A and B are shown apart, each in its own frame.
Chain A
Amino acid sequence: EIVMTQSPATLSVSPGERATLSCRASQSVSNNLAWYQQKPGQAPRLLIYDASTRATGIPARFSGSGSGTEFTLTISSLQSEDFAVYYCQQCGNWPPRFTFGQGTKVEIK
């Protein structure tokens, strides 16, 4: 099973600053990676699919990059509504084992 490792576990950022979240796969997943945002009491929301494509309605301040085993989610200028937990998910192997990372919590500094 492919293991997804996110870092850091918690990121303390001031509003308006840039946030960089990392996700590493234990073996290559090509660009078969998604990023999600989850706020307390809510379902996850797809931010990025195919490693770098923003989902419908996602603001341009969110961007994804990487391929193979190393991926990054960047939030260019954090807004108050961006403080949440972010998960990466590898989702392209077959038979499917679409594992999630353990999450990065972005909190207010």
Chain B
Amino acid sequence: EVQLVQSGAEVKKPGESLKISCKGSGYSFTTYWIGWVRQMPGKGLQWMGIIYPGDSDTRYSPSFQGQVTISADKSISTAYLQWSSLKASDTAVYYCARDLYSSGRYGMDVWGQGTTVTVSS
């Protein structure tokens, strides 16, 4: 079964750092892009950026460039999303998803279960 499993919920204080993870299984992790999507409370989906684990080519939405870092460790089939200094406005659910772009199709077909990040003093 193809799946992405994300790390558990986090509660952090403003200014703290955080790294959440997304582990793929059941497919060739290095040959599909992995995207990250933010969903703030009660709001819609926001595309944050994408990484190709095969060579770590990473692209960001202009809205998130410089705010987060996306990385991957292909040896353990895991992608990451990290913050160096969290803000209250980073409170959201974060999803990772497999992107079909490298196979010439357009969409994100497998999603992680989401990681809830709460930032509060």
Residues of A within 8 A of B (CB): 1, 31-34, 36, 38, 43-46, 48-51, 53, 55-56, 85, 87, 89, 91-92, 95-103
Given A44-B95, A97-B61, A98-B35, also A50-B44 (CB < 8 A): no
**B77 interface hit (Cβ, 8 Å):** no
Separation of A63 and B59 alpha carbons in the complex (Å): 31
Whether B111 pairs with A45 at a CB distance below 8 angstroms is yes
Tally A-B pairs: CB < 8 A.
Answer: 76
Residues of B within 8 A of A (CB): 35, 37, 44-47, 50, 59, 61-62, 95, 97, 99-101, 105-109, 111-114
Given contacts A43-B95, A87-B45, 19 further A-B contacts (CB under 8 A): A31-B106, A43-B111, A44-B37, A44-B97, A44-B108, A44-B111, A46-B109, A50-B106, A50-B107, A56-B109, A85-B44, A87-B44, A91-B106, A91-B107, A92-B101, A92-B106, A96-B59, A97-B47, A100-B45
